[in-house]
A and B are shown apart, each in its own frame.
Chain A
């Protein structure tokens, strides 16, 4: 979604373009809004944080001689009296991917200056995120009732609880922050802060623009991306 229009600079494609962009004695990320570049760098650092958690989980799980609790039994949920493995986790995945899709469409409609459609889609994303956090709260309280603690649990290796609460908790915290910002930005879109040249934002003299919705979208897709890895490594392993 770059809009590379640099006067007096010829944009080359591919790796040749990367070399000339980097060595141009100008801005390196041609046509990328500074906020977007900053969000990407934040997300890269966040990737390292989540990677450290998941790698320490791998190390902890791999190095214990005690038997690890079976995730498809621990996270099973009774549906009409029948235990279905990972039912709640599957629903949470479904909700998060749905909200990721509405966010992608919100970015598209934002760039098309379709204020109403963009606002409703951001709001739908926020509601999806809120549903996800609610389901996670239910999952946590269910496991706590069953006796799972950071220092031990009735199913197997004692490390299970600390990794579970740390990793899903940190992810859930990201989702919660995202939901707060999604509600704020849904308001800002509906209130027309990005229309007619844009309205001044908080603590800044800069005018708002629909690129902010794309930046918010990057964060939200990242939250979905992390869940893909958590789903694979924590629930399916």
Chain B
């Protein structure tokens, strides 16, 4: 099979297959059938990504001309990261799409949903396989546009179940409750805030480097040409794009209100696209920059320090915020932010710890993707079953919903790093990486990581117990049906076992297994200790998911430490103040000057003055003549006298 055909199908099949449903948007009959075609489109992508994985040679570059004169080409690469991530993205999207067939049944605008869902998948695949920065940015923008469409999918804002935040909850002047259309606007406005600086960074690389292909750019030479200040500014611009997309502090708010979208969207958004895209691109860039070989470059260390700490802070912030959440999806959203933070931190640690740290970040992304997607899909099913977006459901309910119950147990335990389940091995390697930073950065990274891991473990257990074991009895129970939904998350969670197998068998990950060892040099390893701590936290939260003495702190956390004020109060206030100035003073002033008052008034005045002479009465003209004569006489007299 031709490679170009493989890639064409990989990227275009999802988009093309969702065009019929767009065209048939008026027909109820067709919009019920055509989603199957859209899902089939994603399935084609899955097949193609598997083809790339198994058949195409590794580390091969495929170049197709776009604007070759300017180095903008369609350059695709099958390196380690792309091959894995491509399969992960396509498979996750496919499982979610299957689930979505059930979940989105009877929705009021299926055409919109399926078109953007498939565009979302295709865009991420472009980001994943692209080696050319411009092509990558095309996919990147596709992610932004599609996420806007999907988050604001229920644009009518008429159903409180689609909102985020508790109705009527007010802090100061702000009501902490957001409708879907606002969620969409918030997402795209935040993302755009980062995308343009990132675009500038890409343009700068375009000028300063002979190529735009990530794998071919001489990063070291590039940094040396632009010096320390240049490196820092270039990276800050680039990181703006990555941090906003990945919802790291302080750009995290959009991710919380993104939960106004359908759950399928949240699942995709949080696992394999969008927020993962930011971390993925950072991992990919780091993979090729190889910062551990560039210790001589000035400025680079500061950047990696910044990313390390932003990542760790986001990790802790997300975990803490999640600990106070009572909404199913928002709790998961906060935890995602936390996980993505750890990915950033781990990849950034590679500056000191070397290549392994990047690999750790990537594998954590993979494990997290499947686990988190499963949890989201479960919570979508629960929202359908209970008609509530808040955590609820006791053991009685859990027994009726056995499949989601089991899936949740598997996904949470596999994700939080309880030995010897999948994430434990990756987390162990991460612990070791952070421990490695002791000499250069100190103990703080490790402390933050352990803290995050413990809280994170707690909130995952809280999610489990408040939904299936100790939660309130739901007001509404609808536990039958949902076969495709169950199929979707059952398939999703089963991949975690496959990943466990891969970690033990794959050549690249043998260091993870070594890091997770119980004892080393006769003492119990740090990794194992952290694993046990996570386990204890999990058990504790399972037993006591809510502590009434800490309600105030919990509310503070669930208000996201008042970060919404930045998005919803400070920024709009500044913006509207400027708008007010330019409109009510600037525009009105200039308009008055030229169009409505001063200049027209002046012309009017002069014209009136001239016209007032022309009355037609003889006496007036005689007066004017006499006046002129008098005037000339006076001038003459004065002149003669002087």
A and B pair up? no
Residues in chain A within 8 A of chain B (CB atoms): none
